[in-house]
Structure 1
């Protein structure tokens, strides 16, 4: 399996955590992102969550905006 984001960042795991905390499906998250101008599909959200797809700074910013979390909450290094 290809790993696009560093393991110590685990951005995908954080996206999944906050998405589930907000009660959103991957499809609902993708739809909200698309309304903000971030063209991620449900499949792409799933790939981000499992660490298969690289995530741009722009996408991280939009994910933080839609999930209502601080940018650093997604980008911070795991302990």
Structure 2
């Protein structure tokens, strides 16, 4: 069985969806992440959303916390 990666699971598209649901810009999301101990810049958030940058488990956890969604909502397979 092939193990899926965060890229296969479209985490970036999910981050963008939930960010838009909260009416946050990428810059605002990055600022909230930084306040919560996750040092992602606006550029890094953009790269995650377009699938250009991989996301660590720690970053997924912090994204879920800041976006007010369950961890599984970001990591669930489509």
Do structure 1's residue 14 and structure 2's residue 14 form an aligned pair?
Answer: yes
**Stretches (4+) displaced over 4 A:** none
CA RMSD of aligned residues (A): 1.1
| TM-score (normalizing by structure 2) | 0.91
Q: Partner residue of 1:34?
A: 34
Once residues 43 and 6 of structure 1 are traced to their aligned partners in structure 2, the CA distance between those partners, rounded to angstroms, is 17
Q: Which runs of 5+ in 2 are unaligned?
A: none
Structure 1: runs of 5 or more not aligned: none
Contact (CA 8 Å) 2:7, 2:54: kept in 1 or not? no
Equivalents in 2 of 1:6, 1:15: separation in Å? 12
TM-score normalised over the length of structure 1 = 0.90
